[in-house]
A and B are shown apart, each in its own frame.
Chain A
Amino acid sequence: MAKTPTIVEFPKMPELPKLPAGGLRLILLAVIGVVLLFNSAYTIEPEEQGVILRFGKYTRTTDPGLHLKIPLVEQIRKVPVQRQLKQEFGFRTVRAGVQSQASRRGFEIESNMLTGDLNAAVVEWVVQYRIDDAREFLFKVREVEETLADMSEAVMRQVVGNRTVDEVLTSGRQQVADLVEDRLQVLCDQYENGVKIEQVVLQDVNPPEPVKPSFNEVNQAEQEKETKINQAQQRYNEVIFRATGEAEQTISNAEGYALDRVNRAKGEAARFESVFSEYRKAPEVTRQRIYLETMNDILPKMGNKMILDGNLDGVLPLLNLQDSALGKAVEKKE
């Protein structure tokens, strides 16, 4: 390209007679020199690698820094090998930031898939990758990124297609991500696209929108179940703890009664023994004494006392019995 101006400039030479031919050549050479210099020096940024092609043929790969190449003959392709790249499936980040905004409209076709039990699930995921081999990346596969997206979707559906919808939605999430990561790498190696899969991250994994409310209903029902059981358990605990306490009380009461009963019996027996042994020494007198003492004790306490001559008969009907307790007792008898 730089040679063409040289050719075009020559016929104009006679029109510039004032300049000496040597000076013109010098200027021309200087221009060519500058052009060549700019064409031969190049910088590779820290995140890049440079791939040098000589007449289209790969010759070498250069690392970050300032380098020289043969001008015109060698071309350079810069590949950002250190940069982490990512692809999103089922959504696209509209504005990245602390609170990223994502758009889902139109990307449902990427995220809708069938599970192994022929249910539907909506899986959104991100594939983070890096260009591992600049040469393979440039020369082995056309449309590397589109291909990677296709591969990723195929692998994800393969893995999800072998699981139940419950597994995909709950316990199997991490397993799915790991498996997709591994298999996607295997496929990349097979395609020789120079890509290293860094990580596959499952984002939202949901049942399809129309089915969501019924999934929520299940969660709610599960909560209700827990609540009911907890309430019953709480009631159980309350009642049983109290009953246990009360049972212990009943037994303690019985034990108290038992002690009381036995001790009393022992005490009374001992008392009887003592009195009886004295009684045996003088039975008649003791009997008399006890009788009289008792009478002496109780007679003063009684309200109504009558003393009848034992020889009189038929006194009873004459007595004013109406307001005495004894009278009532007698009336009843009659």
Chain B
Amino acid sequence: MRYLGLIVLLVALLIVSGAAYTVPETEQVIITQFGKPVGDAIDVPGLHFKVPFLQKVHRFEKRFLEWDAQPTELTTEDKRFIHVDTYARWQISDPLLFFQRLRNESGAQSRLDDVLEGETRNAIAKHNLVEVVRSSNREPDIDEDQLGAPATLEQIEYGRERIRQEILTNSQARTGDLGIEILDVQIKRINYVEEVRLRVYDRMIAERRRIAARFRSEGEGDAASIRGDLERDLKKIQSEAYRKAQEIVGKADAEATEIYAKAYNQSADSRRFYEFLKSMETLSSTTDESTSVLLSTEGEFYRYLNKSGR
């Protein structure tokens, strides 16, 4: 009789474990009976019960799920070859539909591959590269680039955001009846394909060389201009000083002349006297021991040799 109790307990446990199931926060479930879905999807977390053995629990993620594209080589409208890597977020929005259409997550992933990669390809092919790279017609903060040209970015019509939105909307439309919802598509990476990249590098190198050459010639130019300033300023300083000195000298000469004239030119007498004085002075300043002199007794000085004075 003791064993009977045990058996009953065992059976009861078996039934309970077949009937009870938990739904975690991260999952939603549907119940099938002989493969046929029963009732609505259950997304309330906690302990739930079903008919044991006959009904089966199918669990599905409730969280936002990831989808990551294989980096693919694409061509833009302006025939640039680029690698584009996108990712998307999606969610199982209708587990029942999802279960019917896609069965499981890997089925969903492969469908998402088709849809999202196709839509990305379409969107990229419709736009120029710059539209995919830039997101707005923002003006650069720097006024001019190092080549002295005003720094401008090519203007865009659509921009990254709108292209992204375009991919999202189109993909959503194509997956609407699959029980999934694509929440977001982002362009993770864009880069040139290898050969193009090398050409871009060459272009960048050429551009930098031009900038370097510009700096060098600017250096030469500015230095030459300073040297020019030097010549000009030097001449200016020197000539101005000369002019000023000449003015001062001239003025002084004029003043002196006026003073002399005023003193010597008082009368015929004063003029004659000045003449006489100046001759005497000159006589005295122009003779030295190498000077020879012939003195006639007829002269003023020695006339006393002949006659003792007048």
Contacts and interface: CB of A to CB of B under 8 A. Distances in A.
Given A147-B89, A167-B141, A298-B283, A310 B201 contact: no
Interface string A118-160: 1110000000000000000011111100110011011001100
B72 interface: no
A58 B284 CA distance: 132
Given A162-B134, A236-B230, A240-B233, A302 B87 contact: no
A307 B215 contact: no
Given A58-B45, A307-B305, A272 B215 contact: no
A276 B223 contact: no
A29 interface: no
B145 A164 contact: yes
A221 to B, nearest CB: 4
Interface residues of B, number: 122
Contact of B252 (A211, A262, A269, A298): A262
A301 B198 CA distance: 101
Interface in B225-255: 226-227, 229-230, 233-234, 237-238, 240-242, 244-246, 248-249, 251-253, 255
A303 interface: yes
B195 interface: no
B160 A158 contact: yes
A294 B186 contact: no
A214 B213 contact: no
A261 B253 contact: yes
B241 A218 contact: no
Main secondary structure of the interface of A (DSSP, over half): helix
B276 A290 contact: yes
Contacts of B154: 116-118
A287 B276 CA distance: 8
Interface string B246-272: 101101110111011011101001100
A154 to B, nearest CB: 4
A250 B242 contact: yes
Contacts of B160: 158, 161
Interface in B259-301: 259-260, 262-264, 266, 269-270, 273-274, 276-277, 280, 283-284, 287-301
Contacts of B277: 272, 275, 290
B291 A279 contact: no
B295 A229 contact: no
Contact of A142 (B10, B64, B153, B302): B64
Contact of A262 (B190, B220, B259): B259
Interface residues of A, number: 124
B200 interface: yes
Main secondary structure of the interface of B (DSSP, over half): helix
Given A164-B140, A167-B142, A228-B219, A291 B280 contact: yes
B134 A161 contact: yes
A114 interface: yes
B38 interface: no
Interface in A300-331: 301-311, 324-326
A226 B219 contact: yes
A250 B220 CA distance: 34
A107 interface: no
Q: Which of B25, B151, B216 has the most CB of A within 10 A?
A: B25
Interface in B143-192: 145-146, 151, 153-154, 160, 184, 186-192
Interface in A78-122: 109-110, 112-120
Contact of A164 (B151, B184, B246, B257): B151
B15 interface: no
B130 A118 contact: yes
B135 interface: yes
A192 B262 CA distance: 109
Interface string A32-54: 00000000000000000000011
Contact of B287 (A161, A268, A298, A311): A298
A119 B133 CA distance: 11
B301 A295 contact: yes
Interface stretch (A62-70, A197-205, A251-259): A251-259
Nearest to A152: B188
Contact of B25 (A139, A161, A258): A139
A55 B141 contact: no
Nearest to A143: B66
A199 B63 CA distance: 26
25 contacts: A7-B6, A7-B10, A7-B13, A53-B45, A57-B46, A113-B189, A142-B64, A153-B188, A166-B145, A167-B140, A170-B142, A172-B141, A190-B184, A214-B205, A214-B209, A218-B211, A222-B215, A243-B237, A247-B240, A254-B246, A258-B249, A269-B263, A276-B273, A287-B276, A310-B299
Interface of B: 6, 9-10, 13, 22-27, 44-47, 61-66, 68, 87, 89, 129-130, 133-136, 138, 140-142, 145-146, 151, 153-154, 160, 184, 186-192, 197-198, 200-201, 204-205, 208-209, 211-216, 218-220, 222-224, 226-227, 229-230, 233-234, 237-238, 240-242, 244-246, 248-249, 251-253, 255-257, 259-260, 262-264, 266, 269-270, 273-274, 276-277, 280, 283-284, 287-302, 305-306
Given A53-B45, A214-B204, A291-B300, 4 more contacts: A114-B192, A116-B130, A250-B241, A257-B252
